[in-house]
Structure 1
Amino acid sequence: MEEVIAQGEKVIARIFMTGTHTGTFAGNLPTGNSVKATQFREFRVVDGQIIEHRGWFDTATLLPQIKAN
């Protein structure tokens, strides 16, 4: 986790992921390339429990790393 911001019931987290492209992703066959991408997660927390969750994934950064067509 790179950064967490909380205000009221809302919590936003910016997360860096790293891995190796070993399976088909978005129709692209495995390349074995190392990849790094960012995710953003938004939570709504009420009484200490997550009651809503949304997530965004930065595919614009990821796809060139796997040399997607």
Structure 2
Amino acid sequence: MVYAEGVLGDASLCMFNVYEGFVIWDGQIRTIEINESETDPLVGMALLEGYELNIQGVAGGEVTIRRLVFP
């Protein structure tokens, strides 16, 4: 475990514990950093590089992640 400093939405600084984790993403195992926080989990934006994220902003709405295909 390591520590990292982050800037929160209110511009305050916070220290986070950072762990290494693994996810299966698009059929591949990927190593990711996991920042510990006292809040609900968030999807890291780096993980979404090359993908399209669609979220229906209603209760029970659908969330889809689709690989972008470039010509």
Higher relative contact order (CA 8 A, sep 6+): 1
Question: Per residue, is there more helix in 1 or in 2?
Answer: 1
Give TM-score scaled by structure 1 length: 0.32
Give TM-score scaled by structure 2 length: 0.31
